[in-house]
Amino acid sequence: GAVVSQHPSWVICKSGTSVKIECRSLDFQATTMFWYRQFPKQSLMLMATSNEGSKATYEQGVEKDKFLINHASLTLSTLTVTSAHPEDSSFYICSAPLGLAGYNEQFFGPGTRLTVL
């Protein structure tokens, strides 16, 4: 099956710094990628839809200036958490659908654990 990778797998940073997380589709192209946030023992919450060559679409309540998304190529989307604070500590997961139709399978990255001290 298709593979999606994320880098780094975990990161610890100081409060006030920015952290960039990469999401790559390794063997297929993705015009759209999704970024989720998962809290312990809770569901995945969709943060934003990353669109190749255009602006990301953010879900209600997600600060676009806080979570910068760039989808510069058909295989790479990045999420930058700017001026991170302890409340941003979470597990961030990306996914990419194979194909355009809504019922196609989405492939998920292994996630990135962010801890802000």
Binding site for other proteins (CB under 8 A): 4, 32, 34, 41-46, 49, 93, 95, 97, 102-106, 108-111
In the complex, what is the shortest distance from the CB of residue 38 to other proteins, in angstroms, rounded to a whole number? 9
Rounded Cα distance, 70 and 56, in Å: 7
Element (H, E) at 77: strand 76-81
Measured from the CB atom, is 49 or 89 closer to other proteins? 49
Measured from the CB atom, is 16 or 110 closer to other proteins? 110
In the complex, what is the shortest distance from the CB of residue 14 to other proteins, in angstroms, rounded to a whole number? 26
In the complex, what is the shortest distance from the CB of residue 105 to other proteins, in angstroms, rounded to a whole number? 5
Rounded Cα distance, 39 and 16, in Å: 21
Rounded Cα distance, 70 and 44, in Å: 21
Measured from the CB atom, is 49 or 70 closer to other proteins? 49
In the complex, what is the shortest distance from the CB of residue 36 to other proteins, in angstroms, rounded to a whole number? 8
Residue 57, judged by CB atoms within 10 A of its CB (0-12, 13-18, 19+), counts as middle
